[in-house]
Amino acid sequence: MMSCTLLNPKKRLFLCLLVSLAFFLVVDTSSQQHLEAKKKLMREKVRQMFYHAYDNYMTYAFPHDELKPLTKSFTDSLSELGNLKLEHLPTDYNGSAVTLVESLSSLAILGNSSEFEKGVRWLSDNLKFDIDARVNLFECNIRVLGGLISAHLLAIDPTNRLIQGSYNNQLLRLAEDLGKRFLPAFETPTGLPYAWINLKNGVMENETTETSTSGCGSLILEMGALSRLTGDPRFESAALRALRQLWRMRSSLDLLGTTLDVVTGEWLEYSSSIGAGVDSFYEYLLKAYILFGKEDYWQMFSSAYLASQKYFRHGPWYHEANMWSGKPTYWQLTSLQAFWPGLQVLAGDIAAANSTHREFFYVWEKFGILPERYLLDHQMIHPTMKYYPLRPELAESTFYLYQATKDPWYLDVGEAMVKSLNLYTKVPGGFASVRDVTTMQLEDHQHSFFLAETCKYLYLLFDDSFVAKRNYIFTTEGHPIQVVSSWHEKLPKSYSGNWTLSKELANLQRGAWESGASALSLQVCPSIALNSRRPEQHRESACHVPDEKINHRCRSNKE
Ligand code: DMJ
């Protein structure tokens, strides 16, 4: 073989460059192959986790609501949903099979079509809502209504080929029936819905008038989709009226409290946060904007997001603050907050998302699994809230961040999470919640969101095909709804409003939708988009609130 040194210098340089290029190409291809092999392996691992949870549910709990994996039994009393199973249910009907409803969209993504079809048929024949059961409106909306609507949309999409036999919109009919049973909850002087509703009898006498911000501010995706699909505007109008009323109740700092009274419209808990009781309110403002293209959703989101950065954010962390004064109240990380970086990805605030996600993963690694609460001021676990009920939020954010950055580090994060879940929570009868992450003592409960969200987001982290094919938004319970331009409100011809979002940006985004870009690529950061087109006009967006501490500093638009 001729060595490089025998050639003249020019040829030598050329040959050496060629060899180096080939070398890098080989290395690059092999690392790409390695990455693909890893993704394939991880997809299989997550699929096995899903089926371990699903098969055990079907064997020991179906058609009841949720699985008790330690005793291989079931529960119908969902602490959060209410109690769908009462003694006087028809004798041929034994439960509401919430876990099955919640599993359908995951079966469509990672399972096989015959199981999806089997589930659809069973629910079509057996699910009934004419039952004397008091349910939590928010939980029933995100789990049951959202699960049915999403599965219906997946079933009617011919490219999925999920249904071989005939499908006559049975899931949509069920969703419509359920949606109508929700409507009496909205008959309050304020339009804000009661937190609890009896599916047969409407609002019960002496029902509590207390609800949470997320409880009445995150219904718009499911109820809006139901209106678009049925042509009955009442669902969307009720949810939108409640959302607007809630927004009117914000403080002058654009903050909302955590609990309120639906009759008087007064705040009961003034402490405000991005966590429990408020979380999905922020999420639904942005996702409603993506799904329905209504400008005021964006306007509300951008103001609310800006306030969250001003009053809650401390470096990568988010504490709670009083809605009236903006003064910090509680300094704690709550595991529900871990969805926030995923939302920031959708808002185009990737750098901030990344830094917050890293802190959450640091706490996950510290304990082996994420505790429900962690005290930021003492850097220690909360003395009583040490549990981990198989929550999905950190997996969700990891999925979004990987989609946005393609940084393989996020795959390592997902792999570590899969490892911990198998190590600490897998039992012969399914996956069990952790009662105390410091001892890894288990609890006899496999929440339905483990199948709807945790397994789904972990799978999607290693599988690009589902989100690459279509534009989807995922509801707060992880149920996909396709983004279609026919659901989008058309912008007025002449634009002169004072919204943060300009017509140009809206058109820019509409162009992206029409060109088939994924919803994940619609990072709606107005400042970045506008400043790059009109450099003379400097506009700070919510993504770039200056922070006094140098190491907490947000990046400038240029950076
Ligand atoms: C899920 O039911 C939903 O994500 C909800 O919005 C809050 N979190 C739980 C799971 O942790």
- pLDDT tens track for 77-92: 654 555 554 333 344 4
- Residues identified as active-site: 139, 279, 372, 393
d(CA 41, CA 36): 9
The atom of ligand 1 lying closest to the CA of 143 is: 2
d(CA 233, CA 226) in angstroms, rounded, equals 9
DSSP state of 421: I
Average pLDDT over residues 246-270: 98
CA 420 to chain centroid: 21
d(CA 38, CA 42): 6
**pLDDT over 80 (residue 75):** yes
Mutation test residue for ligand 1: of 101, 221, 280, the one with most atoms within 8 Å of CB? 280
Average pLDDT, the chain: 85
Ligand 1 center from residue 393 Cα (angstroms):
8
pLDDT in tens, 182-226: 999 999 999 999 999 999 999 999 999 999 999 999 999 999 999
Distance between Cα 477 and ligand 1 center (Å): 6
pLDDT band at 538 (very low <50, low <70, confident <90, very high): very low
User: CB under 6 Å to ligand 1: residues?
Assistant: 280, 336, 391-393, 449, 476-477
**pLDDT (tens digit per residue) in 502-513:** 344 444 444 444
> Per residue in 472-498, pLDDT tens?
999 999 999 998 889 987 543 332 222
Question: Residue with the nearest Cα to atom 1 of ligand 1?
Answer: 477
* Residues sharing a CB contact under 8 Å with residue 149, sequence separation 6 or more, in sequence order: 171, 172, 175, 222, 225, 226, 229, 479, 481
Strands 480-482 and 430-431 turn out to be unpaired
Cα separation, 342 vs 31, in Å, equals: 27
Q: How far is the CA of 453 from the centre of ligand 1 (A)?
A: 8
Which atom in ligand 1 lies closest to the alpha carbon of residue 396? 4
Q: How far is CA 186 from CA 168, 180, 236, 257, in A?
A: 30, 11, 12, 20
User: What pLDDT is stored for residue 348 in this prediction?
Assistant: 84
Q: What is the pLDDT of residue 7?
A: 67
